[in-house]
Copies of this chain bind each other. A is one copy, B any other.
Amino acid sequence: MKIAVIGGVAAGTSAAARAKRKMPEAEITIFEQDTDISYSGCGLPYYISDLIEDREDVIIYTPQRFAEKKEVVVKSQHQVQEIKPQAKKIIVKDLKNDKIQEVDYDKLLISTGASPIEPPIDGSELENIFTLRNVNSADKIKDFIATNNPQQAVVIGGGYIGLEMAENLLESNIDVTVVEQAKQILTNFDEDMANIVEDHLVDKGVDVVTNDGVEKFVGEETVEKVITASGEEIETDFVLLSIGVKPNVELAQEAGIELGETGAIKVNSKLETSAPDVYAAGDCVETKHMITDEAVWIPLGSTANKQGRVAGSNLANLDDEFKGVLGTAISKVCDLGVARTGLTVKEAEDAGYQVVSSQIKTRNHAGYYPNAKILTIKLVVEEETGLILGAQVIGEEDADKKIDVLATAIYNEMKADELIELDLSYAPPFSIPKDGLMVAGIVADKKRQ
């Protein structure tokens, strides 16, 4: 059996490795247009600030090592130009010598990922306007900083990547302004929670501009100023564009493979596309939200990894399913862990739920034990049933712990007033007897009455 995989980052490599393990006789080839495969996109901001010093550290496997270790063929710098689902062929161009070849497959995986959105802004052609996409693009930013010793940066976009970049630029002693078009940063959080993060960024010395888009970039050869829609002029040495990402669906679309309502590739729970023997996984596909049962596109490394495993099993003729996502995500923003799962109030209301919510402050461990930190926990609860629909947690310690417990609670369709029945671990260095999750559950449940 010949298996072709288009794209070799999270989903592609994990699918290829899984398929080979389950079907050792399969001939598996990964085609990746980039020089690198199997790198940690989520680690790149920390690589730029030198918190992670070595390039190799964000690259889990080089193409050579992956090929040896996993016994699959890896063709990096090979761009797939066309998928022919009827003929079960792909057209591949070797970017090193421009040679084009046709490759047969029995089963195909599309794991083409996502790319930064680059909006048509006046002045975008100026130098020193960067996007963060892969290790090579991170190298460019890192080299620019090392060579030019810039003093000021503007980050366009106040999502996870923008804020992680803001933190890491601060670490490199660069003054940072974050410009966000929406009325709040972190638009996938409720405003009251996003404001906690905004205040923290301001405390750390970041200028945060919200409710204001970019009108144009101004400069001679290099960008010198960002002009916003409201007319503000922000001087800068460089710009990072991180207004969001879009799924890489062109190949699939041109091959007549069905896209979903979100614009990403449509797959069923087996990660099959509309074309026979063509699977898709990772940032290029949409998936089912486990609460609403609606299609969502929430590209995340954790999901890509799990989908890769499922796709790999199915490529190897097993029968595995991907059940969907809760939209659980976390980001470190300076000293804060900023985490969410399920639905925000806004998302829940948009999906037609009537909800109540609680926002409580608690400590991560006993107040008398050194270094206790404040945690803010927000629960979103369906008014009629008491079901927990979502949660947001922000704090210097243990936001990850609390959100994982809540993601597990939501997966199991727990109600807010059941949280107090959980037998969670208590000792002064780790927690408090009346855990904040229990308090949040009680407070939210009371609001229903």
> DSSP class of A's interface residues: helix, strand, loop or mixed?
mixed
Chain B contacts for A327, CB-based, 8 A: 423
- How far apart sit A328 and B422, CA to CA, in the bound complex (Å)? 10
Chain B contacts for A400, CB-based, 8 A: 401, 425, 430-431
Q: Does A385 contact B (CB under 8 A)?
A: no
- How far apart sit A43 and B432, CA to CA, in the bound complex (Å)? 11
Q: Does A341 contact B (CB under 8 A)?
A: yes
Produce 1/0 per residue, A36-56, CB < 8 A to B: 000010110010000110000
Which residue of chain B has the shortest Cβ distance to A304 in the bound complex? B433
- How far apart sit A57 and B368, CA to CA, in the bound complex (Å)? 5
Which residue of chain B has the shortest Cβ distance to A330 in the bound complex? B425
Q: Are B323 and A43 in contact (CB under 8 A)?
A: no
Q: Are B433 and A10 in contact (CB under 8 A)?
A: yes
Q: Does A21 contact B (CB under 8 A)?
A: no
Q: Does A326 contact B (CB under 8 A)?
A: yes
Chain B contacts for A424, CB-based, 8 A: 302, 328, 404, 407-408
Q: Does A405 contact B (CB under 8 A)?
A: yes
Q: Are B42 and A301 in contact (CB under 8 A)?
A: no
Q: Does A398 contact B (CB under 8 A)?
A: yes
Most B CB within 10 A of own CB, among A301, A304, A428: A428
- How far apart sit A96 and B328, CA to CA, in the bound complex (Å)? 58
Tell me which of A218-226, A242-250, A348-356, A409-417 binds B.
Answer: A409-417
Produce 1/0 per residue, A124-141, CB < 8 A to B: 000000000000000000
- How far apart sit A122 and B424, CA to CA, in the bound complex (Å)? 40
Min CB distance A408 to B, Å, is 4
Q: Are B411 and A40 in contact (CB under 8 A)?
A: no
- How far apart sit A297 and B305, CA to CA, in the bound complex (Å)? 42
Min CB distance A107 to B, Å, is 22
Q: Are A407 and B421 in contact (CB under 8 A)?
A: no
Q: Of B306, B331, B368, B433, which one neighbours A301 at CB under 8 angstroms?
A: B433
- How far apart sit A369 and B60, CA to CA, in the bound complex (Å)? 12
Which residue of chain B has the shortest Cβ distance to A364 in the bound complex? B400
Q: Does A290 contact B (CB under 8 A)?
A: yes
- How far apart sit A3 and B366, CA to CA, in the bound complex (Å)? 30
Q: Are A426 and B42 in contact (CB under 8 A)?
A: yes
Produce 1/0 per residue, A321-338, CB < 8 A to B: 001011111111000010
- How far apart sit A331 and B409, CA to CA, in the bound complex (Å)? 24
Q: Are B405 and A302 in contact (CB under 8 A)?
A: no
- How far apart sit A339 and B303, CA to CA, in the bound complex (Å)? 28
Min CB distance A316 to B, Å, is 16
Chain A positions 261-315 with a Cβ under 8 Å from a chain B Cβ: 290, 300-306, 309
Which residue of chain B has the shortest Cβ distance to A418 in the bound complex? B411
- How far apart sit A143 and B332, CA to CA, in the bound complex (Å)? 44
Which residue of chain B has the shortest Cβ distance to A426 in the bound complex? B302
Question: Given contacts A401-B398, A404-B405, is CB(A425)–CB(B339) below 8 Å?
Answer: yes
Min CB distance A342 to B, Å, is 9
Most B CB within 10 A of own CB, among A300, A368, A423, A431: A423
Q: Of B302, B329, B370, B412, which one neighbours A414 at CB under 8 angstroms?
A: B412
- How far apart sit A164 and B306, CA to CA, in the bound complex (Å)? 39
Chain B contacts for A433, CB-based, 8 A: 10, 301-302, 304-306
Q: Are A368 and B43 in contact (CB under 8 A)?
A: yes
Q: Does A227 contact B (CB under 8 A)?
A: no
Min CB distance A365 to B, Å, is 9
Q: Does A234 contact B (CB under 8 A)?
A: no
Chain B contacts for A427, CB-based, 8 A: 42, 329-332
Q: Give me the 3 closest cross-chain CB pairs, A-B, nearest first.
A: A302-B426, A412-B412, A401-B401
Give 25 A-B contacts (CB < 8 Å), ordered by A residue.
A40-B368, A40-B428, A42-B427, A43-B368, A52-B368, A52-B369, A57-B368, A303-B423, A304-B433, A306-B434, A328-B423, A329-B427, A330-B426, A339-B425, A400-B401, A400-B425, A400-B430, A401-B404, A404-B425, A405-B405, A407-B423, A408-B422, A411-B412, A411-B422, A412-B412
List 8 other contacts, CB 8 Å, given A290-B423, A412-B414.
Answer: A40-B368, A40-B428, A46-B429, A301-B426, A306-B438, A323-B421, A329-B427, A411-B412
